[in-house]
Structure 1
């Protein structure tokens, strides 16, 4: 069971390089989440997480699928429970015992299909992308044949959790994901996904962007005293080049990570490396800034880890749409750096006024900020599960136009790549 009490992470005393109190000159706002005036008005004060109570506002009917679509996959390969795509599994478990669940489909506001599309893994532990769309398509065929509810809206009152790199485009490489596009059968459904980027074919209007899964119990076990000095200025661990999938270089992370390495590998303010030490979580708690650059996709678990450990996230992914951007004040807790400005990153960060850094650290210390990024077991108030429910509740009531006249269809069941049409 997950430890009770405040979510992990704190903000120890700040240690900064000399002369770091000058005001910055460079624009660092591209890609920041946009919040309307109405949404801002919901916030009680600067830095708060928007709080709604979804219980009583919506009812969710869970389709009873054969185990081959979900639980049998986890039994076959339990690694699914610990990787960054595991939100699809834990969301299913949460809903099974949630107060929003209804056993009466006629009173449901939403229909949920518990299909795990990231749990058929390679020996290296990565989802098999060519299997995922076939699994999803098969599950939709199953529910549309057994129940009448899909057919009356073509899925417009259904939601699916699709935590792939590029959501329901079902591929980890952006070029191929764009070529594929969103699985045609999902184009009327609401997608709950980790991928978010403005004006991208793999993000449809109305999707709910969620954080990737990061294990709360594991992070809790690595907490250090909250008054530990933050003696590392900039911290990053991860790949700079992916020679296996991008042998010529330049395509992976749109060259951002390569630029980070080439520009700052010898800069004493930057603790960056491909090594992943046993003290990774402890090091993040000793750092002022944690780099969150794009990889194959714009997102990664680093964003969750940074928030949980009170390390100011430096988000380098143009036009990214961040998790729960209508509820979490990302502009106030993070720093946004355009990809083209990576060579200036040292100047950008050392030019930040000390008062701005301290303010971001204070906001990150808010337990509700951390809780909103986590999928704890058991669930807790205001956690990521409840943020998803909030997002679904805000979409109600469904417009009358979602209900189709009898016999009318909007979806083409034979559309998409030939490989996706193979039986699963």
Structure 2
């Protein structure tokens, strides 16, 4: 009995698809203009209706970020990049901020990608806050409205809530400093904390050139009834499928994986774009967010979008009649999806296809570079123009403040790019340690009678004062306390008195010279009587000298201690640099986690 039903269902599918294909061949897919105000709005020209001033920010907020990772040009959040490029050469741009209707701040907050190409929004709030602090301190226009005449492009999964997980995004809410600004975002869901009233919902970015190369002849029959490629379960985050897409995708798979009307799979073939052009209906279910690039792809390829996302706010909803070109299915009705789609009258299907064939409809979903009339850039400007003129409530009274600059998670209040500054400071401090060493070495250098052609010795032990407890006592013995005083650039004074007797120690073996003849009077060719080290290897020795200090055992122990301290002196600068790098790495890691 089950086999018979399957056969009958297959025959129904074949006859339905054949009938639609036959209609297509007879009518050759004519286009149909959208009736009413929606069609007029799509073809509006924003030029002459508004003027936009583009802030010139330091390149660290945009161009340098893109140079670091060019993949940002092709991911579905790239609208922020292309909107910036468009406005720089757009006729609506004004260089006089006094005559501007709107102000645009070019910040690439989504261009921080993982190796897999997914954006990490953890730094985005600090980056946005930093940019707003910059424009509010360098220009007067933010402060007079607190951003009410400014717009920002925030194409994150959940817009200006800046998190890819809905629970975290709801917990965070929209960045407090953007509460009065107009947000241009891909996310749109009614009654959601991440969608602010007055926001302009835009389509995600889809590469126009890439899709253009995959176009097939318009008369190709649509032989696939329902098409979908994508995940049904997010195994890594929600293996049961009850939370991911609120269970809608899992319901599609469990109910229709064996249905011949449905061509659905997790595989993404190279003919993906061609297959969409051969399909009548293309499923556009929600994922972690309610929107996806499939909506753009379906419209561009003339495949009727089946939108499965309750309360979704679709792109340019005031201009595009989504009810007329798409099919809306409640998430709870997904198990009846086959019945819903097969019950749609053929005439209605063909009308939806004719509307989708309208060039204005397709153009409104794309961000081409260079821009073209009636494209998504112009639809954004049309949306901004429809908000003009600004209401008097936009402008604040003298001394009036509305926004709370200290609101939000503690992590958002940390300065952006602080990690790099900390690393630079630490490394500079580490390098500056070498400065006093050079000065001290000049004091501890051999006397003027030493060999002129010999390299000046460096005092590798002069990293700490003699009073420091960090080094051993033998290292402190090598340091002359008087030599640690700052050098004074005074003229040398001469005296007829004979220099006082001073002991010297050989750094190679620990032998102490404490003879009657002052060490300074010894010839340059003098060498250590124990190890044969030249005169330049001796350093002044401050402690009092005992009679047995040159005994073999005492001298051997002193030599071992000198070698240990010398090794510490060599390793300490390296340890400082490594520690600075570790601190920097830890800081950036914590930035990405929190």
The equivalent of 2:37 in structure 1 is 42
- Please tell me whether residue 245 in structure 1 is matched to residue 237 in structure 2: yes
Q: Give secondary structure in 2 for the equivalent of 1:234.
A: strand
The equivalent of 2:591 in structure 1 is none
- Please tell me whether residue 167 in structure 1 is matched to residue 162 in structure 2: no
Deviations 1:184-204 (A, max 9, x none): 100000000001111111101
The equivalent of 1:336 in structure 2 is 328
Alpha-carbon deviation of 1:42?
A: 2.2
| Contact in 2 for aligned 1:60/1:110 (Cα 8 Å) | yes
| Alpha carbons of structure 1 residues 62 and 323: separation in structure 2 relative to 1, 3 Å | same
Q: Where do residues 2-21 of structure 1 align in structure 2 (5 Å cutoff)? A: 17-18=14-15
Alpha-carbon deviation of 1:245?
A: 2.2
CA distance in 2, matches of 1:311, 1:190: 32
Deviations 1:263-283 (A, max 9, x none): 111111111111011000000
The equivalent of 1:398 in structure 2 is 390
Of 116, 125, 133 in structure 2, the residue corresponding to residue 124 of structure 1 is: 116
| Contact in 2 for aligned 1:69/1:116 (Cα 8 Å) | yes
- Please tell me whether residue 93 in structure 1 is matched to residue 85 in structure 2: yes
| Alpha carbons of structure 1 residues 49 and 86: separation in structure 2 relative to 1, 3 Å | same
| Contact in 1 for aligned 2:177/2:403 (Cα 8 Å) | yes
CA distance in 2, matches of 1:68, 1:364: 41
Between 124-133 and 409-418, the greater mean CA deviation after superposition: 124-133
Alpha-carbon deviation of 1:20?
A: 8.5
The equivalent of 1:182 in structure 2 is 174
| Contact in 1 for aligned 2:188/2:314 (Cα 8 Å) | yes
Of 411, 416, 439 in structure 2, the residue corresponding to residue 419 of structure 1 is: 411
Alpha-carbon deviation of 1:41?
A: 4.9
Q: Give secondary structure in 2 for the equivalent of 1:150.
A: helix
Deviations 1:333-392 (A, max 9, x none): 000000000000000011111111011011111111000000011100000000000000
Q: Give secondary structure in 2 for the equivalent of 1:131.
A: helix
Query: Scaled by the length of structure 2, what TM-score is found?
Result: 0.64
| Alpha carbons of structure 1 residues 70 and 157: separation in structure 2 relative to 1, 3 Å | same
Unmatched 5+ stretches in structure 1: 1-14, 22-38
Of 19, 43, 55 in structure 2, the residue corresponding to residue 63 of structure 1 is: 55
- Please tell me whether residue 284 in structure 1 is matched to residue 284 in structure 2: no
The equivalent of 2:518 in structure 1 is none
| Contact in 2 for aligned 1:49/1:329 (Cα 8 Å) | no
Q: Where do residues 246-265 of structure 1 align in structure 2 (5 Å cutoff)? A: 246-265=238-257
Q: Where do residues 71-86 of structure 1 align in structure 2 (5 Å cutoff)? A: 71-86=63-78
Q: Give secondary structure in 2 for the equivalent of 1:288.
A: strand
The equivalent of 1:102 in structure 2 is 94
Of Structure 1 and Structure 2, the greater helix share is in 2
Larger Rg: 2
Q: Where do residues 229-240 of structure 1 align in structure 2 (5 Å cutoff)? A: 229-240=221-232
Q: Give secondary structure in 1 for the equivalent of 2:348.
A: helix
Query: Scaled by the length of structure 1, what TM-score is found?
Result: 0.90
- Please tell me whether residue 358 in structure 1 is matched to residue 353 in structure 2: no
| Alpha carbons of structure 1 residues 64 and 343: separation in structure 2 relative to 1, 3 Å | same
Alpha-carbon deviation of 1:69?
A: 0.5
CA distance in 2, matches of 1:19, 1:221: 30
Q: Give secondary structure in 1 for the equivalent of 2:122.
A: coil
Of 369, 378, 388 in structure 1, the residue corresponding to residue 380 of structure 2 is: 388
| Alpha carbons of structure 1 residues 130 and 43: separation in structure 2 relative to 1, 3 Å | closer
CA distance in 2, matches of 1:346, 1:302: 20
Question: 4+ residue stretches of structure 1 with deviation over 3 A?
Answer: 15-21
The equivalent of 2:188 in structure 1 is 196
The equivalent of 1:138 in structure 2 is 130
Between 285-294 and 404-413, the greater mean CA deviation after superposition: 404-413
CA distance in 1, matches of 2:60, 2:218: 45
| Contact in 2 for aligned 1:133/1:420 (Cα 8 Å) | yes
| Alpha carbons of structure 1 residues 262 and 16: separation in structure 2 relative to 1, 3 Å | closer
| Contact in 2 for aligned 1:20/1:350 (Cα 8 Å) | no
Q: Could you say what the CA RMSD is over the residues aligned between the two structures, in angstroms?
A: 1.6
CA distance in 1, matches of 2:259, 2:36: 42
| Alpha carbons of structure 1 residues 49 and 156: separation in structure 2 relative to 1, 3 Å | closer
Q: Give secondary structure in 1 for the equivalent of 2:66.
A: helix
CA distance in 2, matches of 1:217, 1:41: 31
Q: Give secondary structure in 2 for the equivalent of 1:300.
A: coil
Of 368, 371, 387 in structure 2, the residue corresponding to residue 379 of structure 1 is: 371
Deviations 1:91-134 (A, max 9, x none): 00000000000000000000000001100111111111211111
Alpha-carbon deviation of 1:19?
A: 6.2
Unmatched 5+ stretches in structure 2: 1-11, 19-33, 417-594
Q: Give secondary structure in 2 for the equivalent of 1:130.
A: helix
The equivalent of 1:224 in structure 2 is 216
